[in-house]
Structure 1
Amino acid sequence: MSDEVLWYFARGSGVVSLVLLTVVVALGVGARSGRTAFGLPRFAVNLLHRNAALLSVLFLAGHVIALLFDSYADLDLIDLVVPFVGDYSPFWQGLGTVALDLLAAIVITSLLRHRIGVRAWRIVHWLAYLSWPIALMHGLGAGSDNGTWWLWAISIGCAAVVMAAVGWRTSASFGRFPARADRQVSPRLRPLSVSSKGN
């Protein structure tokens, strides 16, 4: 496979991974509500969240592997683990390494969830929210597409989606569970009260 093909694949898979990660973060915010989102039942939102996360990791792996074998990117294995030590655009590349490390921690702890406990897993899982803006900045700063209109349009769209999800989450209309009034029993279904003696 030529370097040109690897470069195009690396760029495309990186953008797709960012879009999928945006979906994961937005659904992660929305899944905290007891109400349905996008007209889907809660289990469907959770399933979409999980599958988008898996696809994001797969495209991220393709992005990293393609860059590793691309002579133009000139990446070493240590660049994938230790941030800000690369020769090519070390700061922006380092942000990508930080995002990769955070996502790797999420994947590893998810595989070990039953051993480390839900509480520890949940704490690490929150790193997904931190990895998203870092990955966004990495995409805008690194590579040859950082000045193109389409990359900025995709990045602004991703930011708008996450900001809308956070805005909804922090709004007064957001509730983790449905209001108690919605779960009240209809008066027709309530049991009849026992009348007191003497009536």
Structure 2
Amino acid sequence: MTSETLWYANRATGAVCLVLFTVVVLLGIAVRLRGKVPGLPRFGTVSLHRTLSLSATAFLALHIAFAVVDSYVDITVLDVLVPFASDYQPLWLGLGTVALDLMLAVLITSLLRERIGHRAWRAVHWLAYVSWPVALVHGIGIGTDTGTDWMTWLTVSCVAAVIAAFGIRVAHSARAARRTPAALLRTAEGVRS
């Protein structure tokens, strides 16, 4: 593969990762809200979330491999695993490394979910909400397509979708928190009578 081919492959897999991880976050929020994708039963939404998570991770592995193999820029395996260690764009590449490390923690604990328990898995799974914006900033800072019309629209669309879904998630949690004390009070009053 030529350096130019690797460069195009790296750019393409980075954009695909943005879309796939955005959909994964949206599906994760839908699963948490007990939502479902039209045409799928609820367990289908969970299955789709897991499948797309693994697909996104595969594209991320390709994105990283293309960056390391490409000789135009010197990115080593150490740079991929240790944040801010690279000589090339240390801040932007370091943010990508942080996002990768967080995502690896989510992936590994998801694979070990039955062994580590739901509470530990859930605590680590929250890192996905941190990993996505860190990866987004990495792409904006280091991406060679940043500023092009197509990438701007893609990024804005992904951000808008995640913000909207996160807003729905927060609103749902706030409604549930307001209902919980009232429901407990009604239950306690029913027990007393």
Place the TM-score, normalised by the shorter chain, in its bin.
0.7 to 0.9
Aligned counterpart, 1:109:
109
Deviations 1:166-188 (A, max 9, x none): 12223369978xxxxxxxxxxxx
Report the AA paired with residue 32 of structure 2.
Answer: R
Quote the Cα distance in structure 1 between the aligned partners of 2:45 and 2:82. 35
Structure 2: stretches of 5+ with no match in the other structure: 177-193
Task: Give the aligned partner of residue 196 of structure 1.
Answer: none
Corresponding position of 1:9: 9
TM-score (norm. length: structure 1) = 0.82
Q: How far 1:36 moved relative to its partner?
A: 3.5
Q: Which residue pairs with 2:183 in the alignment?
A: none
Task: Confirm or deny that 1:150 pairs with 2:150.
Answer: yes
Kindly state the Cα deviation for residue 112 of structure 1 after the two structures are TM-superposed.
2.0
Percent identity of paired positions between Structure 1 and Structure 2: 53
- Structure 2: how far apart are the matches of 1:129 and 1:48? 18
Q: CA deviation at 1:33?
A: 2.0
Q: Tell me, in whole angstroms, the C-alpha distance in 1 between the residues paired with 2:165 and 2:31.
A: 10
**Between structures 1 and 2, the one with greater helix share:** 2
CA RMSD of aligned residues (A): 2.1
Q: How many residues align?
A: 177
Q: Report which of the two structures shows the higher radius of gyration computed on alpha carbons.
A: 1
> 1:137-186: CA deviations, max 9, x gaps?
1111103212212111111110011011112223369978xxxxxxxxxx
Unpaired runs of at least 5, structure 1: 177-199
CA contact (8 A) 1:168 1:174 kept: no
Deviation at 1:57, TM superposition (A): 0.0
CA shift in 2, pair 1:48/1:27, >3 Å: same
Pick closer, same or farther for the CA change 1:172–1:47 going to 2, 3 Å. Answer: closer
- Relative CO higher for 1 or 2, CA cutoff 8 Å, sep ≥ 6? 1
Query: What is the alpha-carbon distance in structure 2 between the residues aligned to residue 172 and residue 30 of structure 1?
Result: 11
